[in-house]
Structure 1
Amino acid sequence: MKKILGSLSTVAVLISCGIAGGTVVEAVSVGSLNSNADISFSQDTTITQPVNPTDPTSPVTPNPNDPHQPGTGGPLSLDYVSNFHFGTKAIQTSDATYYAQLDQVQNATTTLISVPNYVQVTDKRGLNLGWKLTVKQNGQFKTGASTPAVLTNAQMSLVAATPNSTQLIALAPVTVPVLLDPSGAASSPVATAALSTGIGTWTLAFGSGAGAAQGVKLTVPNATTKVANDQYKTTLTWTLNDSPI
């Protein structure tokens, strides 16, 4: 009886291995069919919400007490630009340097938090063509009087911005220090994303960590006439081009 069981076990092993009488049995194809797969894309033209420049995973909203223009929207967009506030300073008897206050934005709980002054750019074109950001000061600081007082030759400068994103740092745009033309005659480069870089959302913070407190500087010569108890203002125009050239 044991011999019969042993023989049956051997046959079962041979069959399970596809072997019968020393011949290997192979499966034979009896036909085939092709199927299709496809996808298409559309441009995302919605406005990208600002994010915290120190934590790009955290959305923020502008300070409601400090009005900002909304983001430009579109596949390549300028989402947010800080306003630069230097506050009220005592008149000096020598050349003086002042630093812009940190920007304040609202976090998810609408609490105001301080962050570095920054610009935010989003590239969702899908073409990886790169881009270039420039800024121009629209004339010198001056008062709002009918005959305005001008803060002659007062010059703003920005440290080279620190890029931040949820994207790989290898895709970061290249930034340079910015020296603004107070006359408004020329634009200054801020950041350039070469081909295949600058993809996704990038914050460009003027200073990081403790250095953020000195990221935006205004230098006022001693010889410049200064009117007390009046506010001097100017505007900046930030321009985003769809090519790094």
Structure 2
Amino acid sequence: MKFIRLATIAALSSTILAGGAVSVFANETREVTTEGQVQFTAPTDEDGEPEVIPPIDPEVGPDVEIDPEVPGTTGPLSIMKAATMNFGSQVISNQDQVYNMVAEMQQLRGTEGDENKVPYVSFAQVQDLRGTNAGWDLQVSLSDFTSNTQNNVLTGAEIEFVDSRIQYEGTNTENAPSAHTTGLTLLPNGAARSVMTAAQGQGAGASSVIWGDQADLNAQFADEEIETVTNNAIQLSIPGSTAKDATTYTSTLSWELTSTPGDDA
């Protein structure tokens, strides 16, 4: 009698365990998905100043540190760098002349002093951290070259952007803005001209329009017979008929960034 009862209980237990095993196998979960999330907002003054991103790969060209054009710039859509143009000291001539720009100099990273500056391509950089992909337009205009002497205006002077290229720091190249056409000319007191334009859906992040060949500047700098390194991507032309005094003439380049792309791209 005891034997039968034990056998019966054992058989019943086995049935429960077997049924349990079948039930667990049917409800096994081998794969699930969960959600990850991150939210971005446009930077404010409290988030600190963005840095100028040198457009030349430091493994190819000099590794430099470049200060923002306007210290304290923090806005989410800003001009971080613009080109300063010096066409050097030239001999007065009654012939039409074209002068290359003197190459801009930048500080080698981690150094101080003018002796540690090297020639660098000229460029203008826009940083768009708004996160709206709304597009933008960078334009520049030129005033007269003037002095405080008798012949105080360089009549007929023009600046030409001979050639350019775009350096876009984003991974999606379709977001890169467009550069101006080759041979873009600035006329004193003329209309502002677009030098870099991002259509809607373009221009997020850091974008630079570059004038000059860094390899050429490096070669000039290494040549001990060359006293002044020049950048032939930006040129000043002056008619021979323009009266010129023995003095320095200066002009103002006005750079303007608008959030709506213009038609002059």
1:86 positional shift = 0.6
1:174 aligns with 2:178: yes
Kept after mapping to 2: 8 A contact 1:171/1:199 = yes
Q: 2:10 is matched with which residue?
A: none
Q: 1:215 is matched with which residue?
A: 233
1:199 positional shift = 1.5
Q: Deviations over 1:53-78 (max 9, x none)?
A: 2228966224xxxx954374311110
Kept after mapping to 2: 8 A contact 1:53/1:115 = no
TM-score normalised by structure 1 residue count? 0.75
Cα root mean square deviation, aligned: 3.1
Which has more helix, going by share of residues?
Answer: 2
Q: Which amino acid aligns with 1:86?
A: F
Structure 1's unaligned 5+ residue stretches are 1-18
1:191 positional shift = 1.1
Q: 2:42 is matched with which residue?
A: 43
Q: 1:11 is matched with which residue?
A: none
The residue correspondences of 1:58-207 to structure 2 (distance < 5 A) are: 60-62=65-67, 69-70=70-71, 72-110=73-111, 111-137=116-142, 139-145=143-149, 149-168=152-171, 169-177=173-181, 178-182=184-188, 184-207=189-212
Kept after mapping to 2: 8 A contact 1:140/1:153 = no
TM-score normalised by structure 2 residue count? 0.70
Q: Which amino acid aligns with 2:158?
A: Q
Q: Deviations over 1:73-101 (max 9, x none)?
A: 31111001121011101112310000111
Q: Work out which of the residue numbers 38, 46, 55 in structure 2 matches 1:53.
A: 55
Q: 2:6 is matched with which residue?
A: none
Whole-Å Cα distance in 2 between the matches of residues 83 and 206 of structure 1? Answer: 12
Whole-Å Cα distance in 2 between the matches of residues 50 and 148 of structure 1? Answer: 39
1:159 positional shift = 2.9
Whole-Å Cα distance in 1 between the matches of residues 193 and 72 of structure 2? Answer: 21
